[in-house]
Amino acid sequence: MGKYVERFNTKERVLHWFVTVSFLTLVLSGIGLFSRLFQGYFDLFGGGVSAILVHKYAGVTFVIASLLLFLNHYKEMNFFDEDDRHWFRILGGYLDRNPEHINSGKFNAGQKGYGIFMGVATILLGVTGFINWFPLSFPIGIVRVSLLLHGLMFILFIMFVIVHAYLTTIGNPGTLESMIYGNVQRIWAKKHHPKWYKEVTGQEKPT
């Protein structure tokens, strides 16, 4: 029996990296609009006008790719069972010196929460982004609320993404392989997602 189990297929990985690259482009091209402190970032795109143009196209790419990613994983994320509730009660064990073993499925409760947040936040960013794009087509009050919400969602989003990037790399070694190669080591799967490991292999222990 091989050393690896499949975790994400090619379509899922391509979609995830599309989302990531368009997200990073959005951050770099939009951060100068967020505060004057960051206006130097416009130079990366040859000035403010072209940065805003890039922001609009990256925004459309991001919303489409992120919603497709959300729809792809929705069935695996739209429920919280007793093990997930336990995960929330002990905050995934991240604050314990000796974290206990949690019987997570394909995604743990934190990942499900993150995935659902991403879906909802993408819709909000997309809708407010559209209003900000055509401000003269909407009442001024709506445009003001939309600008505020867009900025607030951006702050929340970036906080979640930083935690996500940390947890999927330095925080849990072996995880990034799933998004690069599509498969993970059996021993990783058994340790982090024992219920999923049993579902896909029919085994309790890695062989």
| Binding positions for ligand HEM, rule: CB under 6 A | 7, 16, 19-20, 23, 66, 69, 73, 107, 111, 114-115, 118, 161, 164-165, 168-169, 175-176, 178-179
Please give the Cα distance from 127 to 142 (Å, whole number). Answer: 12
Q: Of 39 and 168, which has the nearer Cβ to ligand HEM?
A: 168
Q: Of 39 and 185, which has the nearer Cβ to ligand HEM?
A: 185
State in angstroms the smallest separation of the CB of 182 from ligand HEM. Answer: 10
State in angstroms the smallest separation of the CB of 125 from ligand HEM. Answer: 10
State in angstroms the smallest separation of the CB of 169 from ligand HEM. Answer: 5
Please give the Cα distance from 157 to 162 (Å, whole number). Answer: 9
Q: Of 5 and 69, which has the nearer Cβ to ligand HEM?
A: 69
Q: Of 32 and 115, which has the nearer Cβ to ligand HEM?
A: 115
State in angstroms the smallest separation of the CB of 70 from ligand HEM. Answer: 7
State in angstroms the smallest separation of the CB of 138 from ligand HEM. Answer: 26
Q: Of 9 and 137, which has the nearer Cβ to ligand HEM?
A: 9
